[in-house]
Amino acid sequence: MWAFIFITIAATMIFAIYCIIPNYWMRNRSKRVLRHGTAEKPWIALTFDDGPNPLYTPQLLDILKDAGIKATFFVMGKQALKHPYILERMHSEGHTIGCHSFSHRHAWLMSPWHTFKDLELTYQTIESFLGYKPRWYRPPWGMFNLCSAAAARKLDLKIAYWSIEAQDWEATTTAQHIYDTIISRAQPGSIIVLHDNRGAPGAPAKTLEALPPIIKALKKKGYTFVTLDQLKGDTT
């Protein structure tokens, strides 16, 4: 009986130390994580997670190109291996490319070793195709474990979170909901997270439907779309 209680308490403490506490700290407190840009300029950063996707990402790139704006893509290593030509197009058209894990496994399900190797493999995949050292990292679901920040630091990666999400991965989310959520919450320095892969079947199609009117409305309000590098002030 006492052994069971001791094991339960020990397991709970380990879980809290490895998962809950660092996750709360990184998402809400750590100065290492970019959650929002400066409010002094009317800048907004569009970011896209989980791609590239051979159906949706080229359409997304067309939308961005037609609008004359740059975005930041957090790509999955296994998707990049399957579709390197899309990765190359992102880079050639001036978008920033960051790491979003290799296979989108939750941080709380990864050991310290796996955390480091997963990020390193994603980093190496991007660099091998582009000759481009990625500068940004966003963990899947925006969830961290005790080793996430150390893994990013080892590769000299900045960590990005977001300030606006529109649940665009859910089956019940409509293009109108995506539009309304982003337009109502947009502020100078906002970081918007959307998805060009995964989620419910067909979910990225609704994101693509919502995106042109979102861009048009925010431009009308005087916003300029920038990459995370620009938002952080690392480039002009």
- Which string of DSSP letters, residue by residue, matches 66-125? HHT---EEEE-HHHHHH-HHHHHHHHHTT-EEEE--SS---GGG--HHHHHHHHHHHHHH
- Whether pTM > 0.85 for this model: the answer is yes
pLDDT of amino acid 11: 85
pLDDT of amino acid 234: 64
> What are the backbone angles phi and psi of residue 94, rounded to the nearest 5°?
90, 10
Does the annotation mark 156 as catalytic?
A: no
**Each residue of 39-54: pLDDT tens digit?**
899 999 999 999 999 9
Give dist(CA 69, CA 63) in Å, integer.
9
Of 146, 78, 138, nearest to 111 by C-alpha is 146
Does the annotation mark 195 as catalytic?
A: yes
Q: Report the Cα–Cα distance between both ends of the chain, in Å, rounded.
A: 63
The CA–CA distances, whole Å, from 210 to 28, 93, 179 equal: 29, 22, 6
From 50, 95, 195, 229, the catalytic residue: 195
From 49, 50, 168, 196, the catalytic residue: 49
Q: What is the mean pLDDT of residues 40-69?
A: 97
Going by pLDDT thresholds of 50, 70 and 90, the confidence category of residue 114 is: very high
H or E stretch covering 15: helix 2-15
Does pLDDT of 97 surpass 70?
yes
What domains sit in the chain, N to C, each tagged with a CATH number? 2-232 (3.20.20.370)
